[in-house]
Structure 1
Amino acid sequence: MTQTAIEIADNSALLVIDVQKGFDAAAYWGPRDNPDAETNIAALMDAWRESGRPIVLVRHASVQPGSVLAPEHPGHAFKDLVRERRHEDDLLVTKTVNSSFYGTPDLAAWLTDRGIGQLVLTGIQTNMCVETTARMAGNLGYDVLVPLDATHTFDLADGTGPGGLSLTAAQLATATAVNLQGGGFARIVTTAEVLAAVGERVTA
């Protein structure tokens, strides 16, 4: 399959979704995939900052009892890579569900006010909040790019016990890629491809 050349708009918004310390709790979540996710997210944040493009930080405030992402839990805080790169101009969206479009403040209104039509989505978890946000963004008419290697997720079972359905984190990431690109919601790309496109626009 021939990959269409990537173009990154001058006002393309980078969404950094739920890159929170609570996701480091391996005992809570189980095995994960893509150990390079955080490095790639940091590289994209640096490129966006250098080019003056907007960054949106999304943070999950879980309402589930005992969640490591609950506001009162230390895991609610951003991971250091995000905290160290956070700027006062970044939009901070807080949500309690999977989609970043159902949060506070209103993400769609903020994007509309700034004439932003392209979104690049990164973060955790690939098949949960990243995929849900990408699906909704695609439905709303945004040009959505997902550098899959700047996301990660965890093994998941259906909760029915022995003999139930389960998928590894890698399998779930593959399913997300197929769902999003095959379904026409988003384009699946790599961090390197996005960084190269940003560099071309910056130096042009």
Structure 2
Amino acid sequence: MKTMELVNMLAAGTDDRAGAGQPGVVRHVATRMALALALGLLGAALLLAILYGVRSDVRQLLLAPLFWMKVSFPLAALLAGQVAAARLARPGVRIGLGPAAALLLPPVVLWLAGGSWLALAPPSQRLELLLGSSWEVCSLNVALLSLPTLLSMLWFMRGLAPTRLRAAGAVAGLVAGAQGVLVYSLYCVEMAPPFWGVWYVLGVALPTLAGAWFGPWLLRW
């Protein structure tokens, strides 16, 4: 398909007043994003296995309610990021107030949970809850595991002719960071919401900033 044909096809489905847009456009965007996320997840899982490994008690971990509370943050951020990415990948489409608010909701809820956790903890334990045993490497590990998804999401974006390049790159990085946290959760031993609210959020912020920085160059078409 020629570039201008693709642009015209995608632009035809960008008018929010027209409802959901053309079914063909929606299927094309969804299929391309699913492929990008699958490739990124596979790459992150391989990196995790090679560099860190998976916890030996992963079966018991999956039965712990606190583990599912931990992964609810990256899952919510990932879902919100997909909605925003599907919009910003198309030419001329703004992110919209609803998707933008959805992007902010996961960290805000996590910060509220972490703040409540700290408020209920004895003062002598609060610093330990914030730093855990891996604060020096946690955010960098998340950022490293996000790289495969960042590359695949930039491929997804570039193929759909985005025009808001910095915002599109930032959302690609946010999706990558959320998926990086999700994969890293199978290795990370930290189980305190205050820790997640600082170092997991920072781990997502790093690829988000990288995507915003490199987006105008890598997504130009």
TM-score grouping bracket, smaller chain normalisation: under 0.3
Larger helix fraction of residues: 2
Larger strand fraction of residues: 1
Max Rg structure: 2
Q: TM-score, normalised by structure 2?
A: 0.25
Q: Which has the higher contact order (CA 8 A, sep 6+)?
A: 2
